[in-house]
Amino acid sequence: MTERIAVYPGSFDPITNGHLDIIERARGLCDRLVLAVLVNDEKRPLFSVEQRIALIRENVLPSDGARVEVREFSGLLVDFARSVGARMIVRGLRAMSDFEYEFQMALMNRRLAPRVETVFLMAKEEYSYVSSRLVKEVARLGGDVSALTPPGAARALRKAYAAPRRGRVRKRPALRRTGRTPRGSTAES
């Protein structure tokens, strides 16, 4: 019997409990699950690809389901999928807004690689609002993300935002007390 290989792509910057949920459920659909960590410097990730891979490996535990591998990739996802022998791409959906984008991507991927199918898994209700972007924002502002991420990712976020990061934090200019109304605003605002 042919090994069923699936790819679950993402930036995983950082990995969240929502990702872990999709990973666990995708394991039941294949024999081998390849977590494809996107290398895309245009996204300006908080963590390097090496750090993201380490966080995934630290938090994705062996189970009775499919074997899990973690690899980095860049370029077309379907080219990566073919290179690892995958016939399935797994994508998690949180809301209808995700569906529109993912549907377009699935159709384009089908056009480029007709033998590679996209499978959508709905997020569990408790993770339907969780995204790496929101988790980073909450952590940056000092909020507790321990219910949204695995422990290793929460620690990494605390450490990343505890250290001063040059070029990332903008200081607001001090307001001068001139008695004048700031440009572009009204006295009522």
CB atoms within 10 A of CB 145: 20
| 43 is an active site residue | yes
Q: Pick the catalytic residue: 94, 110, 124, 140?
A: 94
Whether 183 is in a domain gets the answer no
Whether 74 is in a domain gets the answer yes
Whether 174 is in a domain gets the answer no
Q: Pick the catalytic residue: 11, 19, 91, 136?
A: 19
Average pLDDT, the chain: 86
Whether 66 is in a domain gets the answer yes
CATH number of the domain at 92, please: 3.40.50.620
Q: Pick the catalytic residue: 11, 27, 91, 132?
A: 132
12-21, 75-84, 89-98, 171-180: range with lowest mean pLDDT: 171-180
Looking at residues 168-178, what average pLDDT do you find? Answer: 49
pLDDT in tens, 70-125: 999 999 999 999 999 999 999 999 887 788 899 999 999 999 999 999 999 999 99
Domain holding 48, by residue range, is 5-162
**Torsion on CA atoms 95, 96, 102, 107, rounded to nearest 10:** 150
Whether 177 is in a domain gets the answer no
Whether 116 is in a domain gets the answer yes
Q: Pick the catalytic residue: 43, 71, 115, 165?
A: 43
Tell me how many domains the chain contains. Answer: 1
pLDDT in tens, 34-43: 999 999 878 7
Whether 34 is in a domain gets the answer yes
Whether 147 is in a domain gets the answer yes
**pLDDT score at 19:** 96
| 94 is an active site residue | yes
